[in-house]
Structure 1
């Protein structure tokens, strides 16, 4: 775990803080009267460093749902029993089946992103998952690393994927989250997806990453019946290296995600579509826990209907799909879940993906949307905050700048907070 900076450092900052509070308090009270929020009370906790949970307003959601009563079957590499997952893991199963590839513990990260309890070694504060009340059923498969070309790697993944999906289908898990991706699927994998769907399971899979300029969606995200999940960054634009195409259905945060892991520090930073898929799956767990009578189709319809969609006004695009998951909105105002037996995801898998935007376009500043729940961020287009119920990142930035001007401490306060916050992430390792 990372060292604490509370002791002598807190004492040294006490006089400065006292003076700041005497100067700032009247203005802060005035801002509160206008509806402007303040920073979390415990700004030096690991939770405060988990930007995706702050942006998604997880603590507000947890007053309604923590995912209790819902199990997520995680198809990934090995999951270690780290303290943050105490009481969250069910007995898992190994489906590597002799497939080539180096065994690793990256599945621990995805499991922690889903259901981390926030309690580290000795009960000290640590990282939370989005659905800390959910259970995780770890199903290990090979990631095919070190096997050579993409085809060999895909073969190693698919060797375990089909039986893992069938096992999950026969389990009590409602949600199946697949972190790994291959360049193709197989008849066995497609049949296993159909079987899991027939059992009422909701399947999410990472669309994968690529170093080429126009990456395509990989499998099983591109397999019919599977919800393909892409990733967005802190600017809420799609990650450039994430897969793009008509099989992208939803997106979730996938940059600088702090979570518990099996690394030497116990905390890691992660990025990519695998952690985004874990967050999409956790979002579904929050919703299903609150509405246990709903079917997979109804949960998915609400997720799509409340997602922060493209700001262009399109129903979807090839970079974020229908939009960024917004479980807080889904819990607060889910809308009509629709027919229990009707899949809400249209079949977009027969057309070509749209062109990848330029680097300058993808870095554009988020703007205020013109629509409601269906408006949101897109790769290469202005983005909408995935958790603010309609206000964009620029909206909150404007409020922050205005508040800083009123407080007249724009120089003094940020360095003090940043100094404490940098201490924790500096020691994080990558899984």
Structure 2
């Protein structure tokens, strides 16, 4: 009897070992000789470009394991993995097997790579079912693709815009603004506003011409955004602009709060963790904050849409093009933080990428599930509109996509703005005669500038939403969005390219 039991135990042990090995390794993985060297970065970009041209969009899920590994080799060997039992199983607190699933994945990767878990793990997100790891071997990625409970596997630091000869370059994604330099939406220049582009209102503020296109000054008789907090995910806030700092409560703006945070790590090393703070190192975030909520000041400077709303800003990236590990990670972290902030009702982001990023998608969904109303820019570029419609994450169902249009009786997109079926609203931000865009505060104190594109259109729409929510503080996100739609120039007939069109802010707050 004892000998028989020993034999059964030995068989059971062999079966267990075999099953364990089958779950961790796949001896059937054979890599063809032609795929033992990675594709060049240009070849990868060409395949991405082809997908965009033929299908209208690109997602890393369209790539084979060989293509994913190749892109990873050109991106510091970093892989971002989203795990979960289903496509919507992304929130760690709601996923009972998240810890076990993550441990299993990390054990598999460590064994496949022949490395310690601490050596391969860069970050485990505390709120989302995502991990960032270092992977060297193609076999590891091929093995992961066969596993269950994986929602996506993506190169975590592949920089599409750094590769030459692609369809789009950094200089193609820029804002229509005098302050823009280097094609990344950044700049610190200032321009005196033309007298025809503003009206002086009490107590000595400049109301830009575009505000009147949406009846915003008249809507202020009913609401100024008081009690509503807008969260802005962008490049930060200028420490030099006092009207977005120590004088945030100035003139007719009072009793509101301003908070600044940093989520961007300014480092070439993916494993660096210290952020460089909340201050704007680009200028773009300052312009967006100005458009949404600059005070109704007595300094002769431009006023924002919701001049009595609270403002909470995140420096999440170095510029508007979300290309690279730290920028994508910064945006993801900003969205989860804003999602966890109960005081925030509205999130505005005027940055993006031409294709989806899994971790950012998870962050947006996380904030959306917390009840946030999220506005994202539809896209602003100089030579890429014919290839990409609405950019990511404005293309997501959880986001409200906004773009800019010209001053006219019919909807006509601005020179550099994207359009498409995902667009929900438009904002008039380019003059018919001069081509001038929207007046905003400059990066430096007592200076002004013009900014356009879908970026300022998005921040403006977020401000209008704050007016509506402040007027109706008990409303849900759905009610606010419905009111905005009903106040659109195209309602009830949704335009195929411009959604519900220009919002009449006065009608929206009545």
Same structural fold, with TM-score higher than 0.5 when normalized by the shorter chain? yes
Alignment of 1:328-343 (within 5 A): 328-332=506-510
Deviation at 1:176, TM superposition (A): 0.3
Aligned with 1:293 (options 474, 485, 491): 474
> Secondary structure of 1:204's match?
strand
Deviations 1:255-313 (A, max 9, x none): 31001121476111111111000001001000000001111111011111211118xx8
> Secondary structure of 2:291's match?
helix
Identify the residue that residue 135 of structure 1 maps to in structure 2: 310
> Secondary structure of 2:397's match?
coil
Alignment of 1:362-373 (within 5 A): none
Q: Is the 8 A contact 2:403 2:457 kept in 1?
A: yes
1:327 aligns with 2:495: no
1:317 aligns with 2:317: no
> Secondary structure of 1:168's match?
helix
Q: Is the 8 A contact 1:141 1:161 kept in 2?
A: yes
Q: Is the 8 A contact 2:259 2:311 kept in 1?
A: no
Aligned with 1:208 (options 379, 384, 387): 379
Structure with the greater alpha carbon radius of gyration: 2
Q: Is the 8 A contact 2:193 2:448 kept in 1?
A: no
Deviation at 1:326, TM superposition (A): 1.9
Give the stretch that moved more between structures: 174-183 or 76-85.
Answer: 76-85
Alpha carbons of structure 1 residues 247 and 40: separation in structure 2 relative to 1, 3 Å: closer
Identify the residue that residue 250 of structure 1 maps to in structure 2: 425
Q: Is the 8 A contact 2:385 2:417 kept in 1?
A: no
> Secondary structure of 2:427's match?
strand
Q: Which stretches of structure 1, 4 residues or longer, exceed 6 Å deviation after superposition? A: 1-5, 39-43
CA distance in structure 2 between the partners assigned to 1:144 and 1:4 by the alignment: 25
Alignment of 1:20-169 (within 5 A): 47=206, 50-81=208-239, 82-85=241-244, 86-87=248-249, 90-98=258-266, 103-119=281-297, 123-144=298-319, 153=323, 155-169=325-339
The count of residues paired between Structure 1 and Structure 2 equals 287
Instruction: Normalising by structure 1, report the TM-score.
Output: 0.61
CA distance in structure 2 between the partners assigned to 1:196 and 1:184 by the alignment: 20
Alpha carbons of structure 1 residues 274 and 127: separation in structure 2 relative to 1, 3 Å: same
CA distance in structure 1 between the partners assigned to 2:192 and 2:384 by the alignment: 39
Q: Is the 8 A contact 1:253 1:279 kept in 2?
A: no
Identify the residue that residue 147 of structure 2 maps to in structure 1: none
Deviation at 1:2, TM superposition (A): 8.6
RMSD (Å) for aligned C-alpha atoms: 3.1
Q: Is the 8 A contact 1:315 1:322 kept in 2?
A: yes
Alpha carbons of structure 1 residues 42 and 218: separation in structure 2 relative to 1, 3 Å: closer
> Secondary structure of 1:253's match?
strand
Deviation at 1:330, TM superposition (A): 1.0
- Give ranges in structure 1 of 5+ residues lacking alignment: 6-38, 333-431
Deviations 1:365-399 (A, max 9, x none): xxxxxxxxxxxxxxxxxxxxxxxxxxxxxxxxxxx
1:268 aligns with 2:449: yes
1:174 aligns with 2:352: no
Q: Is the 8 A contact 1:307 1:322 kept in 2?
A: yes
Q: Is the 8 A contact 1:130 1:279 kept in 2?
A: yes
Higher strand share: 2
Alpha carbons of structure 1 residues 202 and 213: separation in structure 2 relative to 1, 3 Å: closer
> Secondary structure of 1:174's match?
strand
CA distance in structure 2 between the partners assigned to 1:42 and 1:294 by the alignment: 31
CA distance in structure 2 between the partners assigned to 1:113 and 1:194 by the alignment: 25
Q: Is the 8 A contact 2:191 2:449 kept in 1?
A: no
1:221 aligns with 2:394: yes
CA distance in structure 2 between the partners assigned to 1:218 and 1:287 by the alignment: 27
- Give ranges in structure 2 of 5+ residues lacking alignment: 1-189, 250-255, 269-275, 431-436
Identify the residue that residue 375 of structure 1 maps to in structure 2: none
Alpha carbons of structure 1 residues 314 and 289: separation in structure 2 relative to 1, 3 Å: closer
CA distance in structure 2 between the partners assigned to 1:64 and 1:293 by the alignment: 16
Q: Is the 8 A contact 1:154 1:184 kept in 2?
A: no
> Secondary structure of 1:304's match?
helix
Deviations 1:133-175 (A, max 9, x none): 1011011111457xxxx7x726553221111101111111100
Deviation at 1:96, TM superposition (A): 0.9
Q: Is the 8 A contact 1:306 1:329 kept in 2?
A: yes
Identify the residue that residue 413 of structure 1 maps to in structure 2: none
